[in-house]
Amino acid sequence: MPAKRIIPCLDVKEGKTVKGIRFEDIRDVGDPVEMGKRYSEEGADELVYLDITASHEKRKTLPELVRNIAANLNIPFTVGGGVSNLEDARVLLEAGADKISVNSAAVRSPDLIDEIARNYGSQFVTLAIDARQEEQGWHVYINGGRVETGKELFDWAREGQERGCGEILFTSMNHDGAKRGYALEALDELSQSLSIPVIASGGAGSREHFAELFTGTHVDAALAASVFHYQEIDIPQMKNYLNHQGIEVRL
């Protein structure tokens, strides 16, 4: 079984790393290039950079930032935000991104997933899904959580897999930034219903939450932001902790 991955996420707005709670109360927490370099040196397995307002503001993620990030990293990194066509993906991949994350544009035009996968391979396409649990189930949102789509989490994830995405990045909007643990039940159902990797996002507040995630679900990776940004969790120490819990990680 592949080692579980630990993935810091850097939400970027206007060239700065920011963080909020349940997609609101956004605050500046640092320079994305320097933070990425630090995480790379500390032993993160991958990084995810998401331009959180690009889709809402109808603009593109800056390729110059991607080039600066690539020049300072020695681990894979995924870039998302404002990717609406094959040309957007090409620009970011050529700037140095290892994978492309699609979200809002893929909901509006699902063929985008097929197109990127067909031209670059499934391993280059991550389908990011932001969903909120409501009375009728898990509803998918786009534009940084601003617009409800009418899509259901599990159906949309399966469609993404069928269209060729290489992994699913699922963020629970109910849990995002709350630091009370991941959406374990939904994540386990999602990971067991798919044959591609699932990255869990939303809710990490302690190293125990990571252990609960990996022992209580079949997810492949854990993504977190604020606990790493504010140095509440040390990545090497947490990996040692997980290893002692019998969870395979790269040390």
**DSSP 8-state assignment for residue 60:** P
HEC profile of 121-142: CHHHEEEEEEEEEECCEEEEEE
Q: What share of the chain is helix, strand, coil (3-state, %, to 5)?
A: 35, 30, 35
Instruction: Go through the chain and tell me how many residues it has.
Output: 251
The pairing of beta strand 16-21 with beta strand 167-172: unpaired
> Residues with Cβ < 8 Å from 199, sequence gap 6 or more?
5, 7, 48, 126, 167, 168, 169, 170, 219, 220, 221, 222, 223
Instruction: Say if CB 61 and CB 51 are below 8 A apart.
Output: yes
Give the span between the Cα atoms of 17 and 9, in whole angstroms: 9
In this structure, how many other beta carbons lie within 10 angstroms of the beta carbon of residue 97?
Answer: 25
Of 126, 147, 143, nearest in space to 76 by CA: 126
> Residues with Cβ < 8 Å from 48, sequence gap 6 or more?
7, 8, 9, 10, 77, 78, 80, 101, 169, 199, 223
Catalytic residue among 130, 176, 188, 220: 130
Active site residue 98: no
Strand-pair partners of 21: 24
Tokens of 86: 């094959």
Catalytic residue among 11, 51, 188, 220: 11
**DSSP 8-state assignment for residue 53:** T
Active site residue 220: no
Give catalytic residues, as residue numbers: 11, 130
